[in-house]
Amino acid sequence: MSRVFVFLLAALLLMPAVPAAAGSPPMLMLANSWREGPEVSQYWVSEKLDGVRARWDGKVLWSRAGNRIDAPAWFVAGWPPMELDGELWLGRDRFDETSALVRTTGATDSGWRRLRFMVFDAPAHPGTFDARLEILQTRIRAAHVPWLQAIPQRQLADTAALHRHLREVVAAGGEGLMLHHRHGRYLPGRSDTLFKLKPWDDAEARVVAHVPGKGKYTGMLGALLVERADGRQFRLGSGFTDAQRAAPPPLGSHVTYRYNGLTSTGLPRFARFLRIREELPPPDPRRP
């Protein structure tokens, strides 16, 4: 590799990215669900944070759906002029609070001072994840911004160590794990080198009806009748607080639900409500 090429490549990586147009979703890499078989030692493993996905384009923060995030100027001051992919995060089991803060225009500084941007990738870098991880960690350390952090990554020896780490994270209140193949490139859409590992699955569905409650839930919500993107309908009858049963998600809104695999008829097994989905992800560009 010539010295001229190396110089040009380094200059390109340090250039500020061109901000995306408002309403144009950033081209994000998406994870597949982990299936046993791949060699675990070839992956970097991090905790899957229950935060709000965001992309820093070098000047502005954008949501997964392509909406500009109204972060205070001081919050992003000193951030490196390169693309960063990560999660805005308040802590474990605080997604609703994080989402409300991020969606509020002109939110108070006190809320943002509790927030961190946890970075896990550098999308514009053309190299492997090994190379992307090295440069993002270097640039974030050099920024000296306490609320801009690289998500801790570790390498594990085998499948047994992976599942042991998963149990530890979940027992501590975490959601699961993410696995980046060390030689994988950043490609928009569903990736064969990025995986998520959780003790359950989750998905989104649209609310089509409110099923009245019975017994102690008389006069309140008993269940939601929801519809998947493929038109299949099913009920969500658990996972709600009393406050959510008194004021259920409106018809036409989308909700996230958890489930444990599929039944023989292809419907989610043990489906339960998790939260209202305020912002749907963009379509997967690599999936029909």
Q: Looking at the annotation, which residues are catalytic?
A: 48
Cβ pair 179, 194 in contact under 8 A = yes
Is residue 76 classed as helix, strand or coil in its secondary structure?
helix
Closest residue by Cα to residue 176 from 83, 62, 21, 49:
49
Q: Taking the CB of residue 199, how many other CB atoms lie within 10 A of it?
A: 13
Q: Taking the CB of residue 29, how many other CB atoms lie within 10 A of it?
A: 19
Q: How far apart are the first and last CA of the chain?
A: 38
Please enumerate in sequence order all residues whose Cβ is within 8 A of that of 55, keeping only pairs 6 or more positions apart, or say none. 26, 28, 61, 62, 64, 83, 84, 85, 86, 123
